[in-house]
Structure 1
Amino acid sequence: MTDFPTLESERLTLRKLAIEDADALLPAFSDDAQMRWWSHAPIREAAALREHLAPRIDNDGWRAFAIVLKGEARVIGMVSVGERRQGGVGEIGYMILPGLVGRGLAREAVARFLDHLFFTEGKRRVFADTDPDNLPSRRLLEHLGFKLEGVLREEWETHIGVRDTTLYGLLRREWAARRGDISA
């Protein structure tokens, strides 16, 4: 199993996601607006969310960290990475609870996660797959330096119909340059 270090940022702690976190995450996973752009419909029951998360916990192919507000010990979201191919490439995902969107918490969590993925784990490339109409997610990725690499037409069959996808990518050297670390 992959180690799950605890990661710290100014306002947040990122720690291994636990099945018990399903209750805290349910407001996001059950929210129609939050889940509109996900590949599956909202999950309305805590038991169903635990069942959804269970195979993804303790799985080397998919790792998730709970996002916790410092000083409150309250789970407010999650960030995850899926190992998509050998050679240091991972796909990230992220979610923040409704009501906390727009405060820079997802950006802070994802930035800290990228530091870990690139500089500790040695990933060379990280990408994200998002719906073209998910403008907040696209803005977050662009703000962090991800580049739009392509649009896959009619890529996903989802609970809202067949959807295109926009692929965003970020290379370790690009992230290092943004962070001022020219040695990476």
Structure 2
Amino acid sequence: MFPQTDRLSLRRFRPEDAPALAAYRSVPEVARYQSWISPVPVEAADALVRSYAAGDPSAPGWFQYAVELKDDGALVGDVGVGLHENRMQAEIGFTLAPNRQGHGYAGEAIGAVLRDLFERRNLHRVSAECDARNLPSARLLERVGFQREGLRPEFTWLKGEWTDDLLFGLLAERWRTLTA
């Protein structure tokens, strides 16, 4: 079962998602703090979509959810969950198309994934990290309940420069308190 909200379906990627994935991941501002280089050719997005579609959300490792608007079926982003081998903790990451930002979709999608991880799958902890310059992502993580746990100065070599990483965590106990 995949997480849902009133406005969003989180689902497995499908072949027809490749052009939309290529479009939003090709935007330089979207790719700036991510591991990929823009532009993302449709052929590369097609390979990513095939890889994502073959994933198993219940198996350790990364699974990428497609985030789709229920009203028009548009792919607006993706949320990745890296399930630890112990199946009691995970890491999340997210990307949202810039023309869909500012409508609450990212927070809604992350909230749905967190609800699934904590309430259905009974995880103990979910973590996230982001480039310290990516203030909108850091604020979003805090808005959905994550607590900042640390800063790793010049920890990641990304696109020709050392970057600082912000570390965030959310425990099941805190999630229950926030959603009670």
Task: Give the TM-score normalised by the residue count of structure 2.
Answer: 0.90
Give aligned pairs, total: 176
Q: After superposition, what is the alpha-carbon deviation per residue over 1:63-111, rounded to whole angstroms, capped at 9, x for unaligned?
A: 1111111121111111110123425111101111111111111001110
Secondary structure class of the residue paired with 2:99:
coil
- In structure 2, runs of 5+ residues without a counterpart are none
Is 1:45 the counterpart of 2:45? The answer is no
- In structure 1, runs of 5+ residues without a counterpart are none
Q: Cα offset for 1:56?
A: 4.1
Query: What is aligned with 2:18?
Result: 22
* 1:79 counterpart letter in structure 2: V
Query: What is aligned with 1:129?
Result: 129
Q: Cα offset for 1:35?
A: 0.9
Query: What is aligned with 1:111?
Result: 111
Query: What is aligned with 2:177?
Result: 177
* 1:37 counterpart letter in structure 2: Y
User: Would the aligned equivalents of 1:156 and 1:162 in 2 still touch at CA under 8 Å?
Assistant: yes
Map 1:58-97; keep pairs closer than 5 Å.
58-59=54-55, 60=59, 61-97=61-97
Q: After superposition, what is the alpha-carbon deviation per residue over 1:18-58, rounded to whole angstroms, capped at 9, x for unaligned?
A: 34322112222101001111123224301112234544443
Q: Matched residues, percent identical?
A: 32
Change (3 A) 1:163 1:53: farther
User: Would the aligned equivalents of 2:88 and 2:124 in 1 still touch at CA under 8 Å?
Assistant: yes
Task: Give the TM-score normalised by the residue count of structure 1.
Answer: 0.88
